[in-house]
Amino acid sequence: MTGLVTVLGSGAMTNTINGILDSDVMLVIGSNTTETHPIIGLRMLEAAKNGSKLIVADPRRIKLCDSADHWVQQKPGTDGALINALCHVILRDGLEDKKYIEERAENFDAFKKSIADCTPEWAAAITNVPVTLIEEVAHTFAKADKAGIYYTMGITQHTSGTDNVCSLANLAVITGNLGKEGAGLNPLRGQNNVQGASDMGCVPTFFPGYQRCDDEAACTKFSEIWQSPITNKPGLMATEMGDAMLQGKVAGLWIMGENPVLSDPNSSHAKKAFEKLECLVVQDIFLTETAEIADVVLPAASFAEKDGTFANTERKVQRVRRAVPPPGDARDDLSIINMVSNRILGNQNGRYQGSSDPVFHTVPPFANEVFDEITKCWVAMAGMSYERLEKESLAWPCPEADHPGTPILHKTGFPIGKAWLSAITWNGPAENPDEEYPLVLTTGRILYQYHTGTMTRRSDVLESSAPSAYIEMNPLDAATLNLTDNEMVRAASRRGEIEIAVRITERVNKGLVFIPFHYKEASANLLTNDALDPQCKIPEAKVCAIKITKLEVA
């Protein structure tokens, strides 16, 4: 979001999922789409089958590579160099969309100067991608009428994550690929409602609707709506809180729907921070590893047990309706938050009235009242209502009650006027392999498990499909260490160590290993680096240095 707001003025997927079928070229970079967004992956495969060209840029041979016209196998953490070189070739060979740049972009001269030295030869040395392939990909992308970019954590989970996103935005702008069907800049959102969470201001710098909390007018507006004084100081990012807890600057924490004891990079450091808190509250649908060390556990209801809306990756707001009542003492998240805030304010009646639920009498549905409030807070959702959402789903911006919603952003302009082409200097990862820790570890997901496994590992079908942890390793590295397939090894970084089974495969190159981070019995995050991107504070989960040793049989 930080990167996209800088260049375009708004942080979301610009186009639609079905629009993929209209594209001439797809650049999928740092996204294992068929495993992590299977439905979107299917659209890509369908488009490729119908003649769209597919470019995959990923250090691992993911399934999409089988259908790709070009597979760019860059070294992890070198995307910035690769993308700058693509832009360099496009300008060098005069393939940019001059009219679009003229009309829609600013800062072109400074941008052009910044990539003058980013030749394909320069990038080849950094990325390990052949010069001719960089040139071919640049030509394929720039010559297409409609070229779409799809990216996820392979781009963002780096100390250079924000820069990588800005570089991709530069590429989309200079080729005129924003504001039309089958193109765009498309960060595929991870969780079903992560778009909704960021829209609603679950970031410490923004109120709902990306209104900055240090903006005086926004502050006044929200203090009037919420009838309360509001501080204009941004809070801490989640990833900055660990150090603040260890320094005693944060004494209490309320975690809702996250299991950071397993999901935070360098998790033993994170766990120390949680244990130092005076009060840790965890609100979850299961007793997670984080809930186990909490002072208070608040049992929450799952998606099927509550009312509300989700905003999906296409910015489309959709109704979710309660299908079953919550078990035992569990309550929906909104009711829990409302009850606690009423106690804090000493206000028995609360700010939301609620009404009796016609089907399940236990919990009053406030969700519609909160939705009405949202429409007053943010003009982009002002035209939505539960009434309309009963019949249709709507993509923001949808400013009036008769507005059809906006599937494709930036058709006529950008929220900041013109796109800002930013000058980005490539910086490598925070930790590189050396003699002691010679291998690069990258981490991520597999189809059958979801993050820390709280939910998927309770499903027999999913768990039996992928029951145990493993580390992918190239046959050449396995031979050097005299390892056989499935053998247990010790994997260690500067931060911790685990024992894990080796999976020998050519999916990864020599020197690179991959661990899915789903398994607590061999938790990748004991190894990963918690170095942060200085701008958006995302941790570098995609690159760190490790060593592998054979376990001595006793």
Ligand X SMILES: Nc1nc2c(c(=O)[nH]1)N[C@H]1C(S)=C(S)[C@@H](COP(=O)(O)OP(=O)(O)OC[C@H]3O[C@@H](n4cnc5c(=O)[nH]c(N)nc54)[C@H](O)[C@@H]3O)O[C@H]1N2
List contacts with ligand X (CB under 6 A): 29-32, 35-36, 57-60, 62, 76-77, 79, 152-155, 157, 190-191, 256-260, 263, 265, 283-286, 288, 300, 302-303, 333, 442-445, 447, 449-452, 454-455, 517, 524-525, 528, 541-542
- Report the distance separating Cα 228 and Cα 237, nearest Å: 23
Which one of Mo ion, ligand X, none interacts with residue 259, CB within 5 to 8 A by kind?
Answer: ligand X
Q: Which is nearer to ligand X, 474 or 528 (CB)?
A: 528
Buried b (16+ CB within 10 A) or exposed e, 19-32: bbebbbbbbbbbbb
Integer Cα distance of 322 and 163 in angstroms: 41
Token readout for 52 is: 């769209």
Q: C-alpha 158: how far from its chain's center?
A: 12
Which of 313, 338 has the CB closer to Mo ion? Answer: 313
* Residue positions counted in the chain: 554
**CB pairs under 8 A, 24+ apart, for 291-298?**
293/261, 294/255, 298/331, 298/336
Cross-sheet strand order for the sheet of 308-311: 308-311, 316-320, 394-395
CB of residue 224 to ligand X, shortest distance in Å? 30
Q: How many CB atoms lie within 10 A of CB 114?
A: 19
Q: Nearer Cβ to ligand X, position 2 or 398?
A: 2
Pick 190 or 364: Cβ nearer Mo ion: 190
Residue 309 near which of Mo ion, ligand X, none (CB within 5-8 Å, type-dependent): none
Question: Residue 516, Cβ neighbours under 10 Å: how many?
Answer: 21
CB of 383 to ligand X, least distance (A): 27
Per CB under 5 A, 190 contacts Mo ion? yes
Please identify, using beta-carbon distances, which residue of 153 and 398 lies nearer to ligand X: 153
Query: CB of residue 330 vs ligand X: minimum separation in angstroms?
Result: 9
Q: Which of ligand X, Mo ion, none does residue 364 bind to, with CB < 5 to 8 Å depending on kind?
A: none
Toward Mo ion, which CB reaches closer, 189 or 322?
189
Span from 10-18, 143-151, 189-197, 230-238 in contact with Mo ion (CB under 5 A)? 189-197
Q: Which does 182 bind (CB under 5 to 8 A by kind): Mo ion, ligand X, none?
A: none
User: What does 454 interact with, of Mo ion, ligand X, none (CB < 5 to 8 A by kind)?
Assistant: ligand X
Residue 36 or 375 having the CB closest to Mo ion: 36
**In this complex, which beta carbon is closest to ligand X, that of residue 149 or of residue 483?**
149
In the numeric block, the tokens 């805030």 are attached to: 341
Q: What is the C-alpha separation between 54 and 389, in angstroms, rounded?
A: 35
CB of 248 to ligand X, least distance (A): 24
Does residue 257 belong to the site contacting Mo ion (CB under 5 A)?
A: no
Residue 153 C-beta: closest distance to Mo ion, Å = 7
* CB of residue 157 to Mo ion, shortest distance in Å: 9
Query: From the list ligand X, Mo ion, none, which binds 42 (C-beta under 5 to 8 Å, kind-based)?
Result: none
- The two three-digit tokens of residue 177, written as one number: 């690929």
Q: Which long-range contacts (CB under 8 A, 24 or more apart) does 333-341 make?
A: 333/256, 333/257, 333/283, 333/300, 333/301, 333/306, 334/306, 334/308, 334/366, 334/367, 334/370, 335/363, 335/364, 335/366, 336/283, 336/298, 336/300, 338/366
Question: Which option in Mo ion, ligand X, none does residue 174 bind, with CB closer than 5 to 8 A by kind?
Answer: none
Instruction: Name the binder of 155 from ligand X, Mo ion, none, CB < 5-8 A by kind.
Output: ligand X
| H helix count then E strand count, the chain | 21, 21
**Contacting positions for Mo ion (CB under 5 A):** 190
